[in-house]
Structure 1
Amino acid sequence: MTKETSSDSRRLLLLAADWQTRALTLAELKERGHQVLALPGLRWGLKALLQGRVDPPLVFVDTKDDDFVSPEEIHHLRELLPDVPIVLLTGVFERETYAAIQEDVDAFLVRPITIGEIVAAIEEKLPEGKKS
């Protein structure tokens, strides 16, 4: 296995267990010219981060259908990446569960939402100079 180049590791990190959200958001971000590493949930994302496979300029986390994601794990993600914007998407009925960690994320999105709105929030929070 070869070591990834620095440009390969600077991909946006898209973490969504829900395959539809992952596929549609990935397609829209790629269409707009972004490099993205899409993984099926937070567990996979944390593993990639801890293994040094990715050094993302931004992380998107969708809580839908992800049994691993929790406020504690989002806080852990923030500790791993203190200077990296985190965009969190949750369901309307999970809003209260994640309300306590709103300060740990840079954008707090709630379903129902369109893919266009998700991508707009990601692009808004992407640091200047990091836009692919």
Structure 2
Amino acid sequence: MIADTRPWLIAADWQSRALLLAELEARGIEMRAEPGMRWAMRALLRERLRPRLILIDPTGDSDATPPEVERLLAVLGENGVQPSLIFLVSAFERALWEQSFGERATILVRPRTIGEIAEVVCGRLAHG
């Protein structure tokens, strides 16, 4: 089985997911997308996934917690995968995600335009 190395977008909010996918596709980046952390874990356990980057928008996803993200990263780590991480969070969630992931991730705080988020993704893919 060939590994899926596409960058990964995990976002329960369908509008956020659709807009980000469209913008990134317009920039020539094909992303894999899952409608939340639960779906991402299921996919990871069923398929051979090796994303270089994961963009997580925890908005509206009760399963998108720091411990669940750590669990996802642990499964990827067992396969030698250490992706770059980007989180798109509200100002109220910022401290939680910074405390949990600190230097290991880029934390983007809303409000951000889709274009700004896409620029960060493109930059991380170009340099990492």
Quickly name the TM-score band, shorter chain normalised.
Answer: 0.7 to 0.9
CA distance in 1 between partners of 2:5 and 2:98 (Å)? 29
Question: Which runs of structure 2 are paired with 1:1-132 in the superposition (5 Å)?
Answer: 5-6=2-3, 9-82=4-77, 83-103=82-102, 105-126=104-125, 128=127
Query: Residue 112 of structure 2 aligns to a residue in which SS?
Result: coil
CA distance in 2 between partners of 1:105 and 1:40 (Å)? 23
Query: Residue 126 of structure 1 aligns to a residue in which SS?
Result: helix
Assess if the C-alpha contact under 8 Å between 1:58 and 1:85 holds in 2: yes
RMSD: 2.0
The 1:81/1:62 distance shift into structure 2, 3 A limit, reads same
Assess if the C-alpha contact under 8 Å between 2:8 and 2:53 holds in 1: yes
CA distance in 2 between partners of 1:108 and 1:77 (Å)? 18
Structure 2, unmatched stretches of 5+, are none
Structure 1, unmatched stretches of 5+, are none
CA distance in 2 between partners of 1:105 and 1:68 (Å)? 20
| Paired letter, 2:123 | E
Deviates more, 1:84-93 or 1:72-81: 72-81
| Paired letter, 2:97 | Y
CA distance in 2 between partners of 1:95 and 1:12 (Å)? 23
> Taking structure 2 as the reference length, what is the TM-score of the superposition?
0.85
Which structure has greater helix proportion? 2
Q: Deviations over 1:74-93 (max 9, x none)?
A: 22223233421111111111
